[in-house]
Amino acid sequence: MAEKNTLAAQPKLRSKKGHERRTNGTIYTVLTIMSIIWLVPFVFLVLQSFRSYKLEKGGMVDYLLPKHFSLDNYAFLFEGSNFFSWCGKAILVGLIVAAAATLLIHLCGKALDKREGEDKGARILMIGGSLLVAFAALVALTAALQGFALAGKAGTLLIALALFMLVGFLMAKVYLKQDSKLLRSIPGYVVEDKHEGAKKLCTLALEFLVLSIIIQHMLAPMTASQYVRWYINTLTIALFTAVLQTAIVLSVSYALSRLRFKGRKLIMNSVLVLGLFPGFLTMITLYFLLKQLGLTQANAVPGLILIYCASSGMGYYISKGFFDTIPKSLDESARIDGATRFQVFLKIIMPLAKPIVIYTVLMAFMAPWGDYVFASYVAFGDPKGYNVAVGLYNWVNTNDFQNYFTRFCAGGVLVAVPITALFLALQKYYVEGVTGGAVKG
């Protein structure tokens, strides 16, 4: 009886395996076809960006592979700009300074660590740094008032130096806290994360690099081509928006998630209702408001930053959902431990909210790259105030687009590559954000 059963079951089992194989095969086929469809436009885009607008046609043609691969389109984007030599200089300066500073701070930390009164050394550093900042600010202010180009340069240089000091001090302090002698004297103390130190040094180096670029920019501004200008415009908008918008969104969502006050429900309901109005409805009013402030056309960059950030508090939903999942007892415990609500926000919630902070920054940073509507309306025909989206859109939709299509492709590639890389690197946080947001509605 038992034997019969196993015999009968065996062919069925085998067929089940075959069935499985067939299903998987189908799935692989479908996925491969999908991948091709998904990637093909981008491959085309890249291919066409290499078609020379000088030797062939810059517009639409009836073949895919360029007959002559050339960098003509890319060269056009940078025509009239000293972009590359400038960048090279900035990076070189940055790297040297960063390396020196990293070494200095490392030594500083070590030295301070060895001394008994470690707080004293840190304090001296801090006071020195602050004095330098104050002095530099004074010089810069006078320079600005007097309009002396030289003094202005000196002032900016001093500010930059002071910033170095300050950052250095902060890093030294962090260094001390994390790895101080006091901690190491505890029996059983082990440094859990060995990468921590390396990571810190890397961030530090990066900070110095950015600072160096800023200095380089202040000392010798880049001469920009149209495209480079649009690119810098967009980058500036994106950076500022990322910082400000994140600060605003986090403040609002923290307040609505953790604090209980009169009018909380009212605020949430109002945001719900306001969200039902289409955003472009307000466009002319916003344009007029910005115009009153002088922030349109050539000055569109600060104007756009203002527009993107001013109402961003209404987008609190996803991060509030995240805050809601952090146990309330942590807040309560910290408050009993003696923290004010501000300290709870800063010392307990913020460190725990890292994923959602990254998500918010990512979203805020990416949005300005794709905005055409407000950007074009605020810039109102002045190419100095365009962002990349407006500039490239105009290239494609001008009468001359037969000549500008391949240049559009090249410009698009240069925008898409860094943004895509950033997105893919932080994909994990993006997924966390959208899934959390979708599940909670």
Partner 1 sequence: MASLKLEHVKKVYDKNVVAVHDFNLEIKDKEFIVFVGPSGCGKSTTLRMIAGLEDISDGTLTIGDRVVNDVEPKDRDIAMVFQNYALYPHITVYENMAFSLRLRKMSNEEVHRRVCQAAEILGITEYLARKPKNLSGGQRQRVAIGRAIVREPQVFLMDEPLSNLDAKLRNQMRAEIILLRKRIDTTFIYVTHDQTEAMTLGDRIVIMKDGYIQQVGTPQEVFETPRNLFVAGFIGSPQMNFLKAKLVKASDGYQAELYGIKVPLSEEKCAKLAKKGVGSQDVILGVRPEHTMLSFDGNANTIEGTLRVNEMMGSELHLHVDLADGTSVILRIPTLELTEAQRASLAYGSKLRFTFPEKVAQLFDPKSEESLLF
Partner 2 sequence: MVDLNYLKMSKPQKFAYNFGKFFKALPGRIGGGFVKLGRAIAGFFKAFGLSVADLFTTFKNGDWKTRLSYLIMGSGSMARGQWGRGLLFFLFQTVFNLYMVNFGMAYLSKLGTLGTVATEKVGRKTVYGDNSFLILLYGVLTLFFVLAFIYTWRVNIKQNKIAQQIEASGKKLKSTKEDLQSLMDSQFHKTLLALPTLGVFVFTILPIFFMILVAFTNFDYNHQPPAKLFTWVGFENFKQLLSSGSASYGDTFRQVLFWTLVWAFFATFLNYFLGMFVAIMINKKGIKLKKMWRTILVMTIAIPQFVSLLYVSKMFAADGLINTYLLKWGIIHEKIPFWTDPGWARFTIILINIWIGIPYLMLIATGILMNIPADLYESARIDGANAMQMYGKITLPYMLFVTGPYLLTSFTGNINNFNVIFLLSQGRPMGLAGNAGSTDLLITWLYRMTVSDTNYKIAAVIGIMVFVVLAVINLVVYNLIPSVKNEEDFQ
Interacting residues with partner 1 between 86 and 125 (CB under 8 A): 119
Question: Rounded CA gap, 245 and 36, in Å?
Answer: 37
* DSSP assignment of 203-215: HHHHHHHHHHHHH
As to burial, measured by CB atoms within 10 angstroms (0-12 exposed, 13-18 middle, 19+ buried), residue 308 is buried
Cβ proximity to partner 1, 85 vs 343, nearer residue:
343
| Binds 6: which of partner 1, partner 2, none (CB < 5-8 Å by kind) | none
Q: Which of residues 310-369 bind partner 2 (CB under 8 A)?
A: 310-314, 340-342, 345, 366, 369
CB 155, CB 129: distance < 8 Å: no
Q: Any contact of residue 196 with partner 1 (CB under 8 A)?
A: no
Question: Rounded CA gap, 183 and 190, in Å?
Answer: 9
As to burial, measured by CB atoms within 10 angstroms (0-12 exposed, 13-18 middle, 19+ buried), residue 198 is exposed
Select from 135-143, 279-287, 317-325, 334-342 the region that touches partner 1 (CB under 8 A).
334-342
Burial readout 32-69 (b: 16 or more C-beta within 10 A, e: otherwise): eeeeeeeeeeeeeeeebbbbbbeebebeeeeeeebeee
Task: State the CB neighbour count (10 A cutoff) for residue 83.
Answer: 18
Cβ proximity to partner 1, 357 vs 389, nearer residue:
357
- Quote the least distance from Cβ 7 to partner 2, whole Å: 22
Q: Any contact of residue 282 with partner 2 (CB under 8 A)?
A: yes
- Quote the least distance from Cβ 364 to partner 1, whole Å: 23
Select from 18-26, 179-187, 403-411, 424-432 the region that touches partner 1 (CB under 8 A).
179-187
- Quote the least distance from Cβ 390 to partner 2, whole Å: 9
**Which of residues 41, 263, 278, 351 is near partner 1 by CB under 8 A?**
351
Q: Which of residues 391-420 bind partner 2 (CB under 8 A)?
A: 392-393, 396, 405, 408-409, 412, 415-416, 419-420
* DSSP assignment of 183-205: HHTSTT---S-THHHHHHHHHHH
Q: Which of residues 61-90 bind partner 2 (CB under 8 A)?
A: 62-64
CB 79, CB 73: distance < 8 Å: no
**Which of residues 190, 266, 273, 439 is near partner 1 by CB under 8 A?**
190
The binding track of 206-245 with respect to partner 1, each residue x by CB under 8 A or -, is ----------------------------------------
The binding track of 265-294 with respect to partner 1, each residue x by CB under 8 A or -, is ------------------------------
Q: Any contact of residue 182 with partner 1 (CB under 8 A)?
A: yes
- Say which residues have a Cβ less than 8 Å from residue 82's Cβ, sequence separation at least 6: 222, 223
Q: In terms of Cα–Cα distance, which of 108, 405, 314, 82 is closest to 217?
A: 82
Cβ proximity to partner 2, 27 vs 127, nearer residue:
27
Question: Rounded CA gap, 295 and 374, in Å?
Answer: 13
Token couple for 133: 């900042």
The binding track of 15-54 with respect to partner 2, each residue x by CB under 8 A or -, is -----x--xx--xx-xx--xx-xxx-xx-xx---------
Cβ proximity to partner 2, 124 vs 373, nearer residue:
373
Residues near partner 1 (CB under 8 A): 119, 182-183, 186-192, 327, 329-330, 332-340, 343, 347-348, 351-352
